[in-house]
Amino acid sequence: MSTHLDPHKDNALWSQYLDGDLESAERKALEAHLRECEICRGEVQMMRKTVDWLSQLAQSQTHQLQAPKDFEHKVRQRLRTKRKKRRVASQETSALSGQTLTTALIFATLIVLAFTLLLILSNL
């Protein structure tokens, strides 16, 4: 079991980290935490996968649509605000934080599905 004493980093911070929005000192602190903390590592991995997946989808459909860039941005924002709200509402535990991520992923998946369906329909 990990014995690190640092509090878990805020999920909005991980999102910024993945976006490359952080100063190098801040980034290094996060990377240090990642090395120590399995929970945050798992979260970051899932966030990264979701973002990769969305941007791949956006890229593959850019020739057909104008929206993807903005769409991806919106989903990310939605992920951030949704997770922030939850965090404020309850003094979150790592279990809850995992649950929130799952909810966010399901939400993102639904949007992507709806989006794909729209594309298919518009091509008929």
Residues within the interface to Zn ion (CB under 5 A): 8, 37, 39-40
Min dist. Cβ of residue 8 to Zn ion (A): 4
Q: Please identify, using beta-carbon distances, which residue of 42 and 55 lies nearer to Zn ion.
A: 42
DSSP letters, 24-68, are HHHHHHHHHHHHH-HHHHHHHHHHHHHHHHHHHHHHHHTTT-S-H
Min dist. Cβ of residue 20 to Zn ion (A): 20
Q: Please identify, using beta-carbon distances, which residue of 37 and 54 lies nearer to Zn ion.
A: 37
Residue type, 123: N
Q: How far apart are CA 53 and CA 102, in angstroms?
A: 15
CB 86 within 8 A of CB 92: yes
Min dist. Cβ of residue 43 to Zn ion (A): 8
CB 71 within 8 A of CB 58: yes
Min dist. Cβ of residue 39 to Zn ion (A): 5
Q: Please identify, using beta-carbon distances, which residue of 34 and 57 lies nearer to Zn ion.
A: 34
Please, which contacts does 61-66 make with residues 24 or more away whose CB atoms are closer than 8 Å? 61/119, 64/119, 64/123, 65/119
Q: Please identify, using beta-carbon distances, which residue of 40 and 108 lies nearer to Zn ion.
A: 40
